Amino acid sequence: MTSSISTNSSTKETSTGLMAKLSGLRNLHVVIGILLLATFYVSVCNLAFAEGSALHVSDYTVSLFGKYLCYALLALAVDLVWGYCGILSLGHGAFFTLGGYAMGMYLMRQIGDRGVYGNPDLPDFMVFLNWTEMPWYWAGSDSVLWMVAMVFIGPGILAYVFGMLAFRSRVSGVYLSIMTQAVTYALMLAFFRNEMGFGGNNGLTDFKEIMGFSLQSPSTKLGLFIITALVLAVAYVVCHYIVNSKMGRVVTAIRDAENRVRFVGYKPEDYKVWIYVVSAMIAGLAGALYVPQVGIINPGEFSPLNSIEMVIWVAVGGRNSLYGALIGAIVVSYAKTRFTAIMPEAWLFALGGLFVLVTLLLPKGIAGMLPGIMDKLKGKNAPEEEATASEPSATDNSATENKGSEVKS
Amino acid sequence: MLRINALRMITMRLIVLRLAIVLLSVFVCTHTYAQDNTNQTDSSLALSNIAKQLPKAKLSKMPPLVKQLGAIKDPKSRLILESLLEGELYYERSGFAIVRAQMNDDKKYVLSYLLTDAQQQTVSKSKIKKIRTNNRLRGQIRDVLAKLDLTDPDSSVRIEALKQLIDKPNDSAIQTIKELLAEEKDEDVNHLMQVILQVQLLKTGDDQQKLAAVEILKTSLEPAVKNMLTQQLAVLPKKPTDQQQIVLKKAITDALDTIESKRQFYGVVENIFFGLSLGSVLLLAAIGLAITFGVMGVINMAHGEMIMLGAYTTYVVQLIWPHLIEYSLFIAIPLAFLVSGSVGIIIERCVIRFLKGRPLETLLATFGISLILQQLVRTVFSPLNRQVAAPEWMSGSLQINPVFSLTYNRLYIIIFSLMVFFALLTFFKKSSLGLHVRAVSQNREMARALSIKSDWVDAITFGLGSGIAGVAGVVLSQLTNVGPNLGQAYIIDSFLVVVFGGVGNLWGTLVAAMSLGSINKFLEPITGSVLANIIVLVGLVLFIQKRPKGLFPQKGRSAD
C-alpha cells in the first residue's frame, strides 16, 4: 500500500505521500515503541528510586499519567470517526461515561458490606433511597466477565442504535454533531435523576478494590497505569489495521466524497455505523480504565463541554493521523493540569483560544506539522506543502481516489 | 446605497416597534383612581364631632358611635376604626385629641394624630390614655369594616372583600350583602354576591332551596363552591329514598361534573398559554440561529453567549440608571441588540470568514469563542448569578376567572416575540438587504455574479442574528437568573428548534418553537421536566428519520 502511493510523482501528492510513509508500518513500531518505553521508564522510576531522588516518579504522577493515557485512548476513538470518517461526534463523552458506569457498577458491588450502611446486597445510595432490591439492570454486575462485556456492549448498543437512525436517514455534518450533543445532554439529564438507579447526582464512588486489589495501594495504581498503556498499545494497533484495511479505505473515501462512494455501489451507512460502533467501544474501554484510577464516575462526565474537549485534543494533535490524537490528548491534558493549578480562571480562556487558533492556523494539528519539520531537518525544500496544508480535504480527496483505483485494479 | 437604506429601514422598524411597546405599557400602567372629594367638609365635621365623644364614652355608649363612624365615607374614619380594633387608639390626657399610639423599643409611645395633620411625636405612657374596647365591640367593628369595604366606591376593593367572605362567611356580612345586592351595578361584584348567597343557601336552606342554588352555582368556578358542593354531597345519604333528595343528589353530581370539566378545560388552556410563552422564548433564542445557519450554513455555538450578553446588558443598564427600572427594558433592548450585534460582527470578521466551507471547524472555533466569552463575564462580573429587577408593569396577572389567569410578563413576552418575528419577516420580504440575504442563502455564487457583496451580507446577517439573540437575552433576564451559564442552557434547545422547523425558513422556526414549547409544557405535569426534556429530544431524533430536512424544508435539488 505504501509503495503504491509513493509512486505517485505529482507534486500535489508529496505531502500525502510523506504522511502515508510516516503513518506506515514503520511509524506503528515507533509509536508503540515510544509508548512502551515511556511506560517502562515510569514504572521503573516509580519502583526503583526512593522518594526525594531526582529520578523518582511519585504515585500521584503515575495515576496522572494513567489518566492521560485513558484520554489518549479516548482521543484515538474520536480520531477514528472524525479524522477518518468525517463524523464530528460531540457525543463521545457519552460512550466514555457509559463504559465508566459499567466499571463503576462492578466496583460498587465489590464494596460489599464495607459501605456506610453496611448492606451486603445493596450499594449505599440504594439503601439511602429506601430501595429493597437491585434494579434488573444491575444483575450480574458483580462478575468481572459481565463487567468487561458491558463496557463494550453498553456504548456499542447506543452507538449502533443512534448510528442506524442517524446514518440511514443521511443526517450528516453539523446536524449530526448537534444531534450527538443533544443525545449526550439528554443522557446527562437522565443520569442526574435518582430514579435511574445510577446514584443520581453523586454518581458511583467510594470504591474499595478491584479484583481483590485495593484501589488505594500504589502498586494497584501502577498496575492500572501499565494495563492502560498496554490496552492503548493494542487499541492503537487495531486502529492502525482498521484504517489501513480495505474497509478503512472505504471509510476514508466516505469522508471525502460520500455520494461518489454511494454511486460506486457501496453502502456508506453500513460502513459509518460500523466505524462508529468500534469507536464507541474504544471510548467505553477508555472510560472503564479511567474510573478505577480517579475513583469516581458521575453524570458530570456527560457534560457537553467534556465531549467537545475530546474533539479539541484531536484537533490540536492532528486529525489525519492516529498518533496525532495521542499527542494532542496528552499535550492538552497536561496543559490543563498545569493551567488549572497555576491560574484556574485562565484555563477557559486558554482552551477557548486554543479552539480558535487551532482551527484558524493549524488545521492539520501538530502531526500535520511534523512532515514539514522533518523535511527541513533533512534539508529538503517543501514549499508546496505549506500551501496545500490549509486544504486537507482537497488533497486527500484526489489521494483517496488514486488509492481507490489502486485497490480496485 | 441600497444596503444603507435597508439598514435604515430596519432601525426605523425597530423604533416603531419600540414605540408601540411603550404606548402599550403606558396604557396598562396608568390605573387611574377617581378620588371622591365631595362632601369632604361635611364628613370631617361629623368626624371631629364623634372624636370629641370617644374619650369620654362608656363601653355601653360605644356601639352607636362605631355605627356612626361606619356611616362616614372617609379614610380617616376607617383608620380610627382599625386603630380601635387593634387596641391602638388612645387620647391625650391634655386636650383629648385622639391618636394612634404604637409602642417603640424604648417603651415610649409614638403618636400619630388621626384627625389633624400634626407631626408624629414620642411621649411616655402617662401622657395618654387608651380607649377601651371589648370583644363584642370588636366584632361590631369588624362587621362595620366589612360593610365599609363592601360599599367602597372602588369595585376592586369590593371584590377583594367578597373574596374573603366567600371562604369565611358570617351572618352579619351575609345580611349586608343581601341589602347591597339590589343596588350593586357592577356585574362582577354582583355575580360574586350571588355566589356567596347561594353557597350560604346551599349550606343552610331546605332541599328545595338547595336545588335552586345548585342550578345557579353550576357555572361558578370558585373553589369555595366546589368545596361546598362536595360537602353537601357527602352529607346526603348514600342511597336516598326521598324523591327530593334523589333529584338533589343528581343535580349536585351533575354540577360537580360540569365544574370539573370546565376546570379541566381551563387547565388545558393554561398549559397552552405556558407552552406558547416557553415557545416564544425559544423562538426569540432560535430565530437568530436560524438566520445565520440558513444563510451561511454555519452553526454559531457562541449564540447562547450572545443571549447571555444581552441579559448582562439589562443588568448593567439597571446598575447605571437605578431610578429608571420601569423603563430599563426599553433602554436595554436596543442596547443589547447593539452590543450582541457588534460582538457578532467582530466574530464574523475575525474568525468565521476565514473558515468558509468548513462548517465543522466553524463549530469548534465558535465553541472556543463561547468559552472565552463565558470566562470573560465570570471575570468581569463574578461567577455568581445576578438579579435583574422586573419593572412594575411586568408583574401581576390578568385574572380571567378563579381558576385561570395570565401573568403579564408571559403575555408581554409572547406579544414581543411575535412582534420581533413579524418585523424580521417583513425585513426579509420587503427590504433590499433582506432580498440580498435571501439571494445569498439560496445560491451564493449566483448572487455574487449579480454583484451582491456576499461578504458584507454575511457580516450583517451574523450581526443581525446575534443582535436578536441579545434581545432574547433581555427577555430571558425577566424570567431566569442572569449568570455566565445562561446561554448554554438555550443553545441546544434553539438548535433543535431550527432543525425541527427546517433550515432557512422563518415560519418553520415559529411553528417549531411554539410546538416544542407546548409539547414540553404538556408533558411536564405527567412526566416531570427532566423526563419531558428527554422525551422531546428522543422524539426529535426519531422525527429527523422521517424528515431529515425539518418540517418545512427548502425546496430545490442539490447533492453535495
CA distance A109 to A100: 14
Interface contact A26, partner B, CB < 8 A: no
A74 vs B48: which has the higher pLDDT: A74
B375 lies within 8 A of chain A by CB? yes
Whether B355 and B211 map to the same domain: the answer is: no
- Whether B363 and A88 lie within 8 Å, measured CB to CB: yes
pLDDT of residue A118: 77
What's the distance, CA B246 to chain centroid? 45
SS3 of chain A: helix, strand, coil, percent, to 5 = 80, 0, 20
Is B61 in the same domain as B168? no
Sign, Cα dihedral of B409, B415, B416, B421: positive
pLDDT at A394: 39
Bigger pLDDT: A2 vs B50: B50
Q: Does residue A119 or residue A302 have the better pLDDT? A: A302
Same-domain pairing of B376 and B517: yes
Residue B87 located in a structural domain: yes
The answer to whether the Cβ–Cβ distance between A304 and B492 falls below 8 Å is yes
pLDDT at A380 over 60: no
* Helix, strand counts (H, E) of chain A: 18, 4
Residue B311 has pLDDT above 60, yes or no: yes
How far apart, in whole angstroms, are the C-alpha atoms of residue B147 and residue B158? 9
Q: Are A279 and A77 in contact (CB under 8 A)?
A: yes
Q: Kindly report the average pLDDT of chain B as a whole number.
A: 80
Tell me: pLDDT of B232 over 90: no
Look at residue B560 in the predicted model and tell me its pLDDT. 47
Which residue of B lies nearest to A164 if distances are taken between CA atoms?
B545
- Find, in chain A, the residue whose alpha carbon is nearest to that of B369: A352
Q: What is the pLDDT of residue A20?
A: 53
What is the average pLDDT value for chain A, to the nearest integer? 81
Q: Is the pLDDT of residue B350 over 70?
A: yes
Residue B4: its pLDDT value, please? 47
In Å, how far is A89's CA from the nearest CA of chain B?
10
Is-contact B477 B311, C-beta < 8 A? yes
Q: What is the pLDDT at residue B31?
A: 40
Q: How far is A296 from chain B (nearest CA, A)?
A: 24
Query: Is some CB atom of chain B closer than 8 A to the CB atom of A354?
Result: yes
A390-401 average pLDDT score: 40
Considering only CA atoms, which of B473, B311, B477 is closest in space to residue B409? B477
From B182, B209, B235, the end of a domain falls on B235
The pLDDT confidence band at residue B323, using thresholds 50, 70 and 90, is confident
Is residue B1 predicted with pLDDT exceeding 60?
Answer: no
Q: Which residues of A touch B368 (CB under 8 A)?
A: 312, 351-356, 359
Q: How far is CA A161 from CA A184, A276, A347, B541, in A?
A: 14, 11, 36, 11
pLDDT number for residue A287: 94
Is pLDDT larger for residue B35 or for residue B75?
B75
Q: From B359, B337, B355, select the one nearest B347 (Cα to Cα).
A: B355
- Do the chains contact at A355 and B369, CB–CB below 8 Å? yes
**What's the rounded mean pLDDT across residues B94-102?**
77
CB < 8 Å to A189, chain B: 530, 533-534
Q: What's the mean pLDDT in B55-63? A: 76
- Cβ count near B268 (within 10 Å): 11
B310 shares its domain with B351? yes
State the cell numbers at B470. 441579545
Reported as a single tens digit per residue, the pLDDT across B154-180 is: 777 777 777 777 777 777 777 777 777
* pTM for this model (two decimals): 0.73
Angle, vertex CA B308, rays to CA B307 and CA B312, nearest 5 = 120
Collect all residues of chain A within an 8 Å Cβ-Cβ radius of residue B546. Answer: 169
The pLDDT value recorded for residue B373 is: 92
Distance CA B532, CA B522 (A): 9
**Is A361 an interface residue toward B (CB < 8 Å)?**
no
In this structure, the answer to whether residues B279 and B416 fall within a common structural domain is yes
User: Distance (Å) from the C-alpha of residue B486 to the closest C-alpha of chain A?
Assistant: 15
Q: Give the pLDDT of residue B214.
A: 79
Domain count of the fold of chain B: 3
From A188's Cα to the closest Cα of chain B, the distance in A is: 10
Question: With an 8 Å Cβ cutoff, are A189 and B533 in contact?
Answer: yes
Q: How far is CA B542 from CA A162, A267, B79, B195, in A?
A: 10, 21, 67, 51
Distance CA A268, CA A259 (A): 9
Out of A199-213, B56-70, B172-186, give the one with best mean pLDDT. Answer: A199-213
d(C-alpha B300, C-alpha B292), whole Å: 8
Q: How far apart are alpha carbons B306 and B290 in whole angstroms? A: 14
pLDDT for B250-293, tens place per residue? Answer: 888 888 888 888 888 888 888 899 899 989 999 999 998 888 88
Cβ contacts of B297 on chain A, cutoff 8 Å: 174
The Cα–Cα gap between B167 and B163 comes to 7
CA distance B347 to B351: 6
Longest Cα–Cα distance of chain B, Å, equals: 101
DSSP structural state of residue B357: T
Instruction: Provide, rounded to the nearest whole percent, the portion of chain A with pLDDT above 70.
Output: 86
What whole-number distance in Å separates Cα of residue B330 and Cα of residue B345?
Answer: 23
Nearest by CB to residue B560, choosing from A166, A179, A259, is A259
pLDDT of residue B16: 53
Q: How confident is the model at residue B18 (pLDDT cuts 50, 70, 90)?
A: low
Backbone φ and ψ for A68, nearest 5 degrees, come out as -60, -40
Q: How many other C-beta atoms can be found within 10 angstroms of the C-beta atom of residue B404? A: 17
* Chain B residues within an 8 Å CB radius of A182: 492, 495-496, 537, 540-541
pLDDT, mean of residues A35-57: 81
Based on the fold, state whether residues B70 and B164 are members of the same structural domain. Answer: no
pLDDT higher than 50, residue A355? yes
Closest by alpha carbon to A203, among A93, A90, A100?
Answer: A100
Alpha helices in A169-267 (DSSP H): 173-192, 218-244, 246-256, 258-264
Q: B129 with B99, same domain?
A: yes
The vertex-A41 CA angle with A40 and A43, nearest 5°, equals 65
* Alpha-carbon radius of gyration of chain A: 22
A335 in contact with B at a CB cutoff of 8 Å? Answer: no
Determine, for residues A359 and B372 on separate chains, whether the beta-carbon distance falls below 8 Å.
Answer: no
Dig out the grid coordinates for A216 from the structure: 488505594
- Is B527 touching A (CB cutoff 8 A)? no
Residue type, B486: L
Same domain, B226 and B285: no
Given B365, B376, B496, which is nearest A356 (Cβ)?
B365
Of residues A201, A186, A250, A241, the one with CA closest to residue A28: A241
In a domain, B318, yes or no: yes
A87, containing H or E segment: none
Cβ pair A351:B369 closer than 8 A: no
pLDDT at A270: 92
Cβ within 8 Å, pair B540-A177: no
What is the chain B residue with the closest CA to A167?
B545
Which domain covers residue B187, as residue numbers?
152-235
Reply yes or no on whether the pLDDT at A12 is more than 60. Answer: no
pLDDT band at A195 (very low <50, low <70, confident <90, very high): confident
Dump the DSSP string for A260-298. Answer: HHHHHT--HHHHHHHHHHHHHHHHHHHHHHHHHHH-EE-
- Each residue of A138-176: pLDDT tens digit? 887 888 899 999 999 999 999 999 998 888 888 777 788
- Cross-strand bridge partners of residue A213: A210
